[in-house]
Amino acid sequence: MVTNSQQDSESLNTQELDAIYAISRVVTRASELDASLDEIIGIARTVFIFDNVVLYVHQKTDNIEPSYARAIGRGRNSEYDLAWGESIAKDVLTSGKIVVRQEIAGDVSKDRMNARYFLGLPLISGDNNIGALVFVRYGGPQFTPDHTHLAEYIAGHIAQLYEHGFLITRLSLLEAERQLERLQDVFVATVSHELRTPLGFIKGYATTLLREDTNWNEDDRREFLTIIDEETDRLKELIDNLLDSSRLQSGTLRMEFQPLRLDTMLKDLPLRAKSFDERLTLNINLETSDLQVQADPTRLAQVFDNLLSNVVKYAPGSKVNITLSSQDNQAHIAVSDNGPGIPEENLPNIFSRFYQVPNQNRSVRGSGLGLFICRRIINAHEGEITAESNFGEGTTFHIYLPLMNHNSGEA
Ligand code: ADP
């Protein structure tokens, strides 16, 4: 018994078969759609005569749109190509069948180009008619059943190419959705964990104080209330950080930019530092003065607050050196400590949201949001923040901000 495919292949000559195999190879390794179509059309031209080809794709809106067009032979005119094929593509899509048509636009004996022959083929992917492939020949020859047969192979392969493309797009959309879900899960888990810790303390000490079977002395009561007070501050700080980080992430945190003298701002830091730790000593070195930047003073102060509170948490007892200088139209502020430093392998991650260096002192409480917020704030100022660290020797954060008037203040 002769199967359909045997019959089909018998009706193609060797050159045509070679071309079809070459086309199917393009489909299997298809990467970029237009480049693959160019290749297929190039191969098809070696065994199939046509002057123009247009591929129409069925849109969700029920329209058809030309998605690819090549004018190769006589009558090269892309604009015109698109118009002529549309009515044929519509007929192909409504009938789901091959449409062969000819148009005589003038006296063919004077100009053979007055005769145009069209061949429209449906592009079938699974059960769906995804579009139409329309070939045109100027001045003939007419499309014979043999030609149509060959064109069907080409259309079949192009439909596969589209299906391949759809699948890849669908897969990457699904992957993106899954990735988002995973991120949301991690976010919810991290946030719940972070909120639970201070809440646990508050609940525990409040319940303890409320116990009717025990009379707490004044010192104990004060100690418990102090813990509740500190943990409430911590909870507030966490929620503020979470809000800031999600606003910075979505770009909805409002910044109030104004000209700001960096030396003035840095001179205020020692006083601010005392609010984190009485013992924190800052050594401020202004290599240049009168450097002005466009900045939101509150947000920029928040960056320094974060860096200083990190010194208290991660480099306790360390001195802090802060240097202001300028280079290449930028202000450069370096904040260094001589604490334990950050291991080299962890350094690239410290500005990521929720990242905390593993195995650090258990008594240190953090959320991994501080440096993420710092980087986002500095980026919103069109600046940059980086870190360098020698493990065991200390850490330096470098902040670069574009200067407003970089020539005015060189010391
Ligand atoms: P958190 O908000 O939890 O304090 P950050 O985003 O501010 O976290 O910092 C990320 C990590 O970088 C911290 O887990 C800490 O290990 C490390 N780190 C930050 N600053 C310093 C520093 N000055 N010295 C050593 N390690 C630091």
Alpha-carbon dihedral sign for residues 307, 310, 315, 318: positive
Q: In what order do the strands lie in the sheet with 282-286?
A: 282-286, 320-327, 330-337, 394-402, 384-390
CB atoms within 10 A of CB 108: 13
Atom of ligand 1 nearest to the CA of 367: 3
Atom of ligand 1 nearest to the CA of 318: 23
Q: Which are the contacts of 88, defined by CB distance < 8 A and separation ≥ 6?
A: 99, 101, 118, 120, 132, 134
Closest protein CA for atom 19 of ligand 1: 310
Q: Is 227 exposed, middle or buried (0-12, 13-18, 19+ CB in 10 A)?
A: middle
What would the two tokens of residue 11 be?
A: 């009706």
Token match 């984190």: residue? 276
Amino acid at 5: S
What would the two tokens of residue 212 be?
A: 């009717």
- Mean pLDDT (whole number) for 25-35: 77
Question: Could you tell me the distance, in angstroms and rounded to a whole number, from the CA of residue 315 to the centre of ligand 1?
Answer: 9
Give the model's pLDDT for residue 132.
92
Give the model's pLDDT for residue 318.
95
Determine how β-strand 292-295 pairs with β-strand 320-327.
unpaired
Closest CA to 140 of 15, 47, 46, 51: 51
Atom of ligand 1 nearest to the CA of 371: 6
Q: Which of 304, 305, 310, 361 to mutate to test the pocket of ligand 1 (most atoms within 8 A of CB)?
A: 310
Token match 């909120």: residue? 195
Question: Could you tell me the distance, in angstroms and rounded to a whole number, from the CA of residue 353 to the centre of ligand 1?
Answer: 12
- Mean pLDDT (whole number) for 171-180: 86
- Mean pLDDT (whole number) for 254-266: 94
Length of the chain: 411
Taking only the tens place, the pLDDT of each residue in 125-166 is: 877 888 999 998 888 788 888 888 889 988 998 888 888 877
Calculate what percentage of the chain has a pLDDT beyond 90. 41
Taking only the tens place, the pLDDT of each residue in 84-128 is: 788 889 899 888 899 999 888 778 788 877 888 999 999 988 778
Atom of ligand 1 nearest to the CA of 351: 6
Q: Which are the contacts of 168, defined by CB distance < 8 A and separation ≥ 6?
A: none
User: Is the pLDDT score of 3 beyond 60?
Assistant: no
Give the model's pLDDT for residue 178.
87
Residues in a beta bridge with 191: none
Pocket of ligand 1 (CB under 6 A): 306, 310-311, 313-315, 337, 339, 342, 350, 355-357, 360, 366-372, 395
User: Is the pLDDT score of 405 beyond 70?
Assistant: no
Provide the pLDDT confidence category of residue 203 given band limits of 50, 70 and 90.
very high
Q: What is the mean pLDDT of the chain?
A: 86
Question: Could you tell me the distance, in angstroms and rounded to a whole number, from the CA of residue 269 to the centre of ligand 1?
Answer: 19
Compute and round to an integer the Cα radius of gyration of the chain: 36
Question: Could you tell me the distance, in angstroms and rounded to a whole number, from the CA of residue 270 to the centre of ligand 1?
Answer: 20
Residues in a beta bridge with 397: 335, 387
Closest protein CA for atom 7 of ligand 1: 370
User: Is the pLDDT score of 78 beyond 60?
Assistant: no
- Mean pLDDT (whole number) for 169-186: 83
DSSP-based helix, strand, coil % in the chain, nearest 5? 50, 20, 30
Taking only the tens place, the pLDDT of each residue in 298-313 is: 999 999 999 999 999 9
Give the model's pLDDT for residue 2.
38
Taking only the tens place, the pLDDT of each residue in 332-376 is: 999 999 999 999 999 999 999 888 898 777 677 778 899 999 999
Give the model's pLDDT for residue 76.
55
Contact in structure between 272 and 390 (CB atoms under 8 Å): no
